Amino acid sequence: MTSIHVITDKNKAGYETILDEYFRLRHDIFVGERGWRDLERPDRRDMDAYDNEQATYLVALDGGRVIGGLRLYPTLLPHMISEAFAHLIRGRDVLSGSTILECTRYFIVRERRMGRTDCRLLAAFQQFCLEEGITEVTAVVEMWRLPRWQQAGFKVRPLGLPTMVEGQTCIAAAIQISDDSLRHVSRLAGLRGSCLVRGTGVSNLVDRVPHVAA
Amino acid sequence: MSGRSLDHTVQAFEFIEELDRLATPQAIIDAMERSFAQYGFENFIMTGLPHPEQRIEGLVLLKKWPLGWYERYTRNSYDRHDPVIHLCRRTVQPFEWGEARYDPDTNPKGQEIMQGAADFGMRQGYCLPIHGLNGFEACLSMSGPDLDLTPQTKPAIHLMAMYAFERARLVLAPAPRPNPLTNREREALRWAALGKSAADTGEILGVTERTITAHIGSACAKLTAANKTHAVARALQHRLIEI
């Protein structure tokens, strides 16, 4: 069963192996699959200036393996849209505030893209933001992905016109955080309760599993 | 940014705001008619893409098409051969009808369809494919005799089309149609697509060969496929499985 773990500077010590796999997968997907060559690194781990103590990660785990994730970052600090994608915003009027986060590096591993993992991660995302008092989340998203978010029950408003980024037509958009969206996406994800985990780590999870199963 | 493209941005955002207030299919059609006319569009159709066992008539969300053309199109099941629909299934990017190539030898009806549309004044077109959740596939295809499609207008048209589609979907068809295949059927077809026999697949998944054959059999029935190869081809074509 997929669960989505919240990983921040405070609890990252307990997620060392998981985070390493997470950064390796990001490199596989964003450099290998999507061809963002600028991110390529010899250690095959995708990490950038925003992977710092201000970042929050939602990491989807199944049986101790990373199967997806996303990164959230405060918009009051210099963030990716303000620093690199302001030209995608109408009038360059970048949306920022204490209740607004930016979402980047959204991914699901290839073999889980047909199932409900996508919806589970999106549900955890809405739930986490609701619990944190977040009202909106900005993101640069490929246009083709927008209908998937909308069909998941997300209210998404455009912040500018579609623009080519790394060979893909992308748009800057703001996702509204709401109970309605959480309810809708949870239903699609087949969730009766929460799949969000705020823990201290899973370093021992792989060792523990056989005992729990037995 | 030139003044002209600023206009396109303003118009696109006004259209998107207007859509939010529209509650009926007819109101959406009227708003689209007004807003897309400035780019030369006269006709459009929003429709789900049929699975093998479906007919397109049941999947049309809304349309402003010449009646004669719609009747001819559905009577002849043109959607099975339409180069625009074929390209929709293969790309996530919007495209101009002219980019929907077809081989007259393997798809002789392609020519008949494109010519037929032109005879009804639909000489040029722009199509936005939608690839949603759970294998939901649809498109918004718009056309006219002379379109204003340039690098300046296309981003605005793309955005407007995307939001028009979403509004119509919300007003008309709340939920995307689920993938008809079960997880096990999909898994069995995926391994078949990768060249595994039923016995191999059974071993991989830890079940008997007979179980896999049964999954393949029920997948064939759901896809109205004649055999395993046919089922794999259909499942891939309709994005019910990925490899």
- What per-residue confidence (pLDDT) applies to A212? 43
- What per-residue confidence (pLDDT) applies to B174? 52
Report how far Cα A133 is from the mean position of its chain's Cα atoms. Answer: 17
3-state DSSP assignment of residue A178: coil
- What per-residue confidence (pLDDT) applies to B51? 83
Residues 6+ apart with CB under 8 A from A172: A81, A85, A88, A89, A138, A139, A140, A158, A159, A160
**Domain definitions of chain A by residue range:** 2-205
Tell me which H or E stretch contains A168. strand A168-176
Return mean pLDDT, chain A: 92
Domain spanning A2-205, CATH class: alpha beta
Tens of pLDDT, residues A74-130:
999 999 999 999 999 999 999 999 999 999 999 999 988 877 889 999 999 999 999
Q: Taking CB atoms and an 8 Å cutoff, what residues of chain B touch A171?
A: 159
Residues 6+ apart with CB under 8 A from A177: A126, A129, A130, A134, A135, A136, A137
- What per-residue confidence (pLDDT) applies to A207? 45
Q: Taking CB atoms and an 8 Å cutoff, what residues of chain B touch A113?
A: 242
3-state DSSP assignment of residue B177: coil
Q: Of B140, B154, B162, which to mutate for an interface test with A (greatest number of A Cβ within 10 Å)?
A: B162
Q: If you measure CA to CA, which chain A residue comes closest to B158?
A: A162
The mean-pLDDT minimum among A19-23, A201-205, B55-59 falls in A201-205
Query: How close is the nearest chain A Cα to the Cα of B43, in Å?
Result: 22
Residue with tokens 């055999």: B227
Tens of pLDDT, residues A168-186:
999 999 999 999 999 999 9
Contact B148, B164 (CB under 8 A): no
Contact A169, A162 (CB under 8 A): yes
A208, pLDDT greater than 50: no
Give all strands (DSSP E) within A63-162, no chain letters.
65-74, 100-108, 136-142, 156-158
- What per-residue confidence (pLDDT) applies to B3? 58
Across the interface, which of B131, B155, B186 has its CB nearest the CB of A161? B155
Q: Give the Cβ contact number of residue A8 at 10 Å.
A: 14
Residue with tokens 């056309």: B143
A140 or A112: which leads in pLDDT: A140
Distance CA A61, CA A14 (A): 14
Q: Give the tokens for residue A5.
A: 């773990």
Query: How close is the nearest chain B Cα to the Cα of A82, in Å?
Result: 19
Q: Which residues of chain B have pLDDT under 70?
A: 1-6, 173-178
- ipTM of predicted complex: 0.90
Contact pairs from chain A to chain B, CB under 8 Å? 59
- Residue B128 burial (CB < 10 Å; 0-12/13-18/19+)? buried
A210, pLDDT greater than 50: no
Contact A134, A77 (CB under 8 A): no
Contact A114, A149 (CB under 8 A): no
Distance CA A167, CA A142 (A): 10
Distance CA A175, CA A95 (A): 12
Q: Give the tokens for residue A135.
A: 């009202």
A205, pLDDT greater than 60: no
pTM for this predicted structure: 0.83
